[in-house]
Structure 1
Amino acid sequence: MSSLRALGKPSLLAFALVAALGSTHADAAKKKAKAPAVSAQCSDFYASANADWLKANTAGSALGQLRERSQQQQRDLLQAAMQSPQGNVQKLLGDFWASGLDEAAVEADGARPIAPLLDRINAIRKPKEVAPAIAALHQVGIPVAFNFSPDVDLRALDRHIGYFMQGGLGLPDPAYYTRSDADTQQVMTRYRAYVKQILALTGSAKDKLDADAQAVIDLETRLARVSKPLVDLRNPLTNYAPVATKELGKQYKNLQLDAFLKAQGVNDDTVSMADAELFRQIDALIASLKPDQWKAYLRWRVGDAMAPHLAKSFRDAEFEFRGRVMRGQSTPPPRWQEVLDAINLAAGPMLGKEYAARYLPQATDSQAEAIAAQVRDALERRLEASSWLSAQAKSEAKDKLEKLKIEVGTPHRDIDYSVQPMGRGSFGGNILIASTWRHREEMKRIGKGNADRRWDVLPQQPALAYDLAQNRLIVTAAVLQAPVYDASRDPAGVYGAYGALVGRELNRGFDNRGRMVDAKGQIRDWWSPADLAAWTGLTGKVASQFDGYNYPELKNVKVNGKLVADESTADLAGVELAWDAYQNAQPQAGTASKQAFFQAWAQLWAQKFGEADAAQRAASDVHAPGVWRTNAPLANLPAFAATYTCKPGQPMQRSEAEQVRIWR
């Protein structure tokens, strides 16, 4: 689910002054009738609906609080699993959690958890032994030299294939290794010091530290020089280049990619390798570099990957560079947070299974799926009635909507939770056990018929998203709580918050991006040029509307309408569809219930942030501030004006000519 921004100050002061003047100047009132005061709801609905939240909170956001609550729930679950596990999966998780919280045991464990990996690396004597060591590290979830992971086959979206991609660098951007500016050089100096620290902790002799560190950076620089700029990796089409797996062993003899795939448990006829030059370079480096250079690099990558999960000497070194230098953090997170993050990384689906069982009532699961289906039905009605879609596009859209899948709580297809016992003896050892299991399950995605196993989010993470490749709505267990899904309030509020978020995501299947995948799951543009022109016109109107709004907390700064147009159009579509679904489900709803619908929408976006944060968001955030995510869609909706008796020309009611309509 999208993260949300911002707030507006209630314009109640101006209203109070107008009221006071009107009541104390009776003579003036006799001479000239005063214009009626604009109600708080028709002036700034965001401020009115969120008055209590804005008074009670000095920073943060309502959805940020939801994320924090879900983390606390995970923490509570793990505590209970540690003390009194219910079933085998909880026993595994409870032991994992206990081993991480026992800092004395972690300290006593030292580097022992990675000793078998280091022994394997140190046993390398010949170039032909490098490739098997690379494959073995990938198996335990430590990708070295390159990345290999499953993703959808862009020629057949019903399957996953393995993608060979660039990776294996200790810095996040290949440009660090080639730029010569002062800031980059300063980072590289700190990076070299960090590499030396990890190498010392993983076995480099003191008199060889400088040489080993140079060997690591030299190897990474060679990889970086043939890696693509990060901007080139954003387009999935440029990363897709299917090749037959049977040819890989012959083309990359030193890398032994045929044996690599076998070691990962992959038996498929196709993989993607968009950057063959990079892999030719790696293949050549295995033969041309001395084994000792590869050994230094592999030891460094193991130590760096595992540093957050080992003794304090490793953790401190990792935080000083990655935390303080790269992420700008002043202090490490609390220990429980580090352990929870590690469990989510290594065993996230395992935790998600137990989270949904504990925190998602069956009644909520069923009702959430039913409301999502109602919003889908609303979209079907609105598609048919659309004034801007062509007849051919409507027909294509209807076919696609009929095939839409809705998955609520957890993925419909479960995974294999068999994993060797973790025990409480070694947190680092448990990380490797869990990440080996997770890697195994990831590799099982590769092959025909496995595409619908994949969720790009975990059930314990609050998220509601449309999966374009699978034509599937994903609703996680964690998102089905206040303020998104508040079962304690008027049912209309569930439509106004949860239903509207469902609508904004379903809209994704039929907007400017959704048009690129058809009902059969094939990448094909099913819009006509006229459909595209009509959509562009609609988003242009949304951009113009937002261009007129002031950015909260900033002086003389307007919202960048073009930047936020895509997400803001989705917001408007979501509210339209949810209102249609609600009206269809509750045609006799009274005013109080209708108001609850709109209040729930507004309360999703409550937030406060400082000037520096606002300036950064104004320049780069594709989401509008919360005040406008609330007010802008509602000002386009006649139903809102009717519910609160707002008049055209008032801030919360645009004139009919100005209103933007997506699905009404």
Structure 2
Amino acid sequence: MPRTIPLALALTLVLALAAPDAGAQRRAAAKAPAGPTACGDFHAFANKDWLAATPVPAAGSTSALGELQARVLEQQRELLSTAMNAPQGNVQTLLGDFWASGLDEAAVEADRANPIAPLLDRINGIKRARDIPPAVAALHQVGIPVLFNFSADLDLADLDRHIGYFAQGGTGLPDPAYYTRQDEEARALLGLYNGYVQQILALTGTAEADLAAESQLVIDLETRIARASHPVASLRDPRQNYALVPTEGLGKTWKRLQLPEFLAAQDISDDSVSIANPELFTALDGLVGSLKPAQWKTYLRFHVGDAMAPYLSKSFRDAAFDFRGRVLRGEVEQPSRERLVLHAINHAAGQMVAREYVARYLSPASRSRAETIAGEVRDALRSAVERAPWLDDATRAEAVAKLAALKVEVGAPVRNVDYTVQPMGRGSFGGNMLIASTWHHREEMKRIGRGNAQRRWPVQPQEPALAYDAAHNRLLVSAAVLQAPVLDMSLDGAAHYGSFGALVAHELSHAIDGKGRHVDARGEIRDWWTPGTDAAWTDRLNALTAQYGNYDYPGIAGRKVNGSLTREENAADLAAVEIAWDAFSQALPGAEKDAKESFFNAWAGLWREQVAPAVAEQRAGTALQAPGPWRSNGPLSNLPAFSETWGCKAGNPMVRKDEERVGIWR
């Protein structure tokens, strides 16, 4: 026993050395402002260390999910560098050569316009009107859409197949109205565009004395296309872009455009395509016959140079960035060489990158954990639907059927991709871009036809993505998203439910909420909600609108959150914590307080962010999601389990009165 006395003295000594003036310490503590508390501002409490270490940027934003995106890009760089230095197999050899050719800026400069020389020769060979459509088809084959757009997308009358969509395009400005508007802003933009067209034409062979005249030929043709095009706003509704017509009669309706031959060149043999603006194609058919071949050659030559400019020598890149980057997108500086090349490879050879990324970075443990939690969350949502008092029996039955049919796909899609492609080599980045883009177009065209729709994802596995695919009633979980802060395998299981599980619940709620109500369990497009369910849903949305409309917008003095703009996503966030908490409680029924706290800490950790004032101002008027602090706190203030876990009392900011709480699935 006497041996304990020196130990006690030693502890006393340590404490004394740590705080030589206890009275001064108490006085300082009394003067210091209190830190955030769980019941006062949970977002600030849970993220206090990160927020303290991460200053508000002068421009842009920093966030947990932004850090994930940066990590994913670094993983892609590492993958491509390994493929460049020590490739294993054909796909890695292709990617490694593509990467090496892009990083070799000296070789890109020496290559100048050589990569597009064969395309320009083909265009310069146009002699008469009937030569124009084959040249158009050939450019589409290499991924350069001119005159119009043609792509694979869902058949709105049969969601199990993709069809070919002939749609408007072929203009260099993003809105057809810019060609016809007479206001000062539009005229100024058209003038800047004229200058850009001249730059590209000069780089692709036009003599200086002919630049003004030839640029006007390009703008004249594009203006004619624009006049026959629909307003951009009307294109946001997919139904406005859909009008099925049989392929059999295309050659008779539009004789000069040679659309049957165009489809054959893209290896399309389907029996129907969509042409929602036949008047446009009538106008294009007329232009093929009425405009001189010289005008068409100039137009096509410009669009080849414009499309390929980012991947060619500096004079091309600078011209494209000065107009498309600075003027159209408001960018201040060009992306780094690595970023430009990485974007190009993901754009043209994304499926190759996906194959290697999944093999390298998706562990079996992460995949298994994600599949387990996603299944549990789906079951929890189905149970909640079965007991929700605001659903009537008819709506409830359809919702249960839809959730029973819902599929979960983790990591990457089941795909049948032919990786056979012309060898790239390391000598020409622009040439490799055309090789990869041609391969990409070929694989995209294979989507057209019956039975192919579900073999593709609308997101890439090497991009952080967790999304509900309404057309095919499936949850898509990319390989890249299965890491911190979404699924951090170094944390305890409770945290997985608060982050990954909640995001799954957020997305799955869209299967049966105001968005999912328009596609039923059989994949038919119809509204399966009853008026009573619609009224009950609207009541909940209105209550959330009022709640969020009282929140101050972070970083903007005197501004409130637009609760009407964000209400659909606010409802999905509330559903996220409700359903994820149910799944967590079912999976870990005896969870201790620490585990419960981990659940909520993980949720708040998803939404930590620091946002520059200018970005905050822009988001306040356009973003469909609430700012990070309210994505954290808003749903939790409505969840009784939160205040019970943290011991919050009535009157605390994170505790709502019972009559003010909104519940969707609890």
Same fold (TM over 0.5): yes
In structure 2, which of residues 20, 44, 47 is the aligned counterpart of residue 47 of structure 1? 44
1:212 and 2:214 correspond: yes
Superimposed CA distance per residue, residues 433-452 of structure 1 (whole angstroms, 9 cap, x where no aligned partner)? 10001001111111000010
Question: What are the within-5 Å matches in structure 2 for residues 56-455 of structure 1?
Answer: 56-58=53-55, 59=57, 60-455=62-457
Give 3-state SS (helix, strand or coil) of 1:650's partner.
coil
Question: What are the within-5 Å matches in structure 2 for residues 12-31 of structure 1?
Answer: none
1:389–1:531 contact (8 Å) kept in structure 2: yes
CA–CA distance in 1 between the matches of 2:346 and 2:277? 31
CA–CA distance in 1 between the matches of 2:333 and 2:28? 53
| Alignment partner, residue 8 of structure 1 | none
Residue type of the partner of 1:340? L
| Alignment partner, residue 547 of structure 1 | 549
CA–CA distance in 2 between the matches of 1:337 and 1:186? 31
Residue type of the partner of 2:117? A
Superimposed CA distance per residue, residues 64-95 of structure 1 (whole angstroms, 9 cap, x where no aligned partner)? 11111101110111011100012111110000
Q: So what's the TM-score if we normalise by structure 1? A: 0.94
2:255–2:285 contact (8 Å) kept in structure 1: yes
Question: What are the within-5 Å matches in structure 2 for residues 561-580 of structure 1?
Answer: 561-580=563-582
| Alignment partner, residue 589 of structure 1 | 591
Superimposed CA distance per residue, residues 440-484 of structure 1 (whole angstroms, 9 cap, x where no aligned partner)? 111111100001022111111111100000101011111111111
Superimposed CA distance per residue, residues 279-316 of structure 1 (whole angstroms, 9 cap, x where no aligned partner)? 11111100000011010000000000000001111111
Give 3-state SS (helix, strand or coil) of 2:511's partner.
helix
| Alignment partner, residue 459 of structure 1 | 461
Give 3-state SS (helix, strand or coil) of 1:509's partner.
coil
Shift in Å, 1:176: 1.1
CA–CA distance in 2 between the matches of 1:493 and 1:231? 42
CA–CA distance in 1 between the matches of 2:28 and 2:656? 27
CA–CA distance in 2 between the matches of 1:72 and 1:610? 24
Superimposed CA distance per residue, residues 321-380 of structure 1 (whole angstroms, 9 cap, x where no aligned partner)? 111211222221110000000001111111011111111111101111111111001111
CA–CA distance in 2 between the matches of 1:216 and 1:379? 56
Shift in Å, 1:490: 1.3
Moved more, 279-288 or 641-650: 641-650
RMSD: 1.5
Give 3-state SS (helix, strand or coil) of 1:279's partner.
helix
Give 3-state SS (helix, strand or coil) of 2:585's partner.
helix
1:38–1:650 contact (8 Å) kept in structure 2: no
Shift in Å, 1:39: 7.3
Residue type of the partner of 1:181? D
| Alignment partner, residue 9 of structure 2 | none
| Alignment partner, residue 11 of structure 2 | none
CA–CA distance in 2 between the matches of 1:569 and 1:601? 15
Residue type of the partner of 2:92? Q
| Alignment partner, residue 644 of structure 1 | 646
CA–CA distance in 2 between the matches of 1:435 and 1:326? 24
Give 3-state SS (helix, strand or coil) of 1:474's partner.
strand
Residue type of the partner of 2:350? G
Moved more, 465-474 or 450-459: 450-459
2:36–2:44 contact (8 Å) kept in structure 1: no
CA–CA distance in 2 between the matches of 1:596 and 1:217? 60
Residue type of the partner of 2:395? A
Percentage of matched positions with identical amino acids: 59
CA–CA distance in 2 between the matches of 1:458 and 1:76? 18
Give 3-state SS (helix, strand or coil) of 1:41's partner.
coil
Superimposed CA distance per residue, residues 3-32 of structure 1 (whole angstroms, 9 cap, x where no aligned partner)? xxxxxxxxxxxxxxxx989989xxxxxxxx
CA–CA distance in 2 between the matches of 1:649 and 1:222? 65
In structure 2, which of residues 561, 566, 573 is the aligned counterpart of residue 559 of structure 1? 561
Please list every run of 5 or more consecutive structure 2 residues that lacks an aligned counterpart in the other structure.
Answer: 1-25
Shift in Å, 1:529: 0.8
Q: Where do 4+ consecutive residues of structure 1 move more than 2 Å?
A: 19-24
Shift in Å, 1:412: 2.1
| Alignment partner, residue 27 of structure 1 | none
CA–CA distance in 2 between the matches of 1:20 and 1:493? 38
1:526 and 2:528 correspond: yes
Question: What are the within-5 Å matches in structure 2 for residues 585-624 of structure 1?
Answer: 585-624=587-626
Please list every run of 5 or more consecutive structure 1 residues that lacks an aligned counterpart in the other structure.
Answer: 1-18, 25-36
Q: So what's the TM-score if we normalise by structure 2? A: 0.94
CA–CA distance in 2 between the matches of 1:414 and 1:48? 48
Give 3-state SS (helix, strand or coil) of 1:418's partner.
coil
In structure 2, which of residues 619, 626, 637 is the aligned counterpart of residue 635 of structure 1? 637
Residue type of the partner of 2:38? Q
Superimposed CA distance per residue, residues 575-619 of structure 1 (whole angstroms, 9 cap, x where no aligned partner)? 111111111100011000100000000010000112222111111
* Shift in CA distance, 649/257, structure 1 to aligned 2, threshold 3 Å: same
2:406–2:475 contact (8 Å) kept in structure 1: yes
Q: Number of matched residues?
A: 634
| Alignment partner, residue 31 of structure 1 | none
CA–CA distance in 2 between the matches of 1:54 and 1:416? 47
Residue type of the partner of 2:258? Q
| Alignment partner, residue 9 of structure 1 | none
| Alignment partner, residue 535 of structure 1 | 537
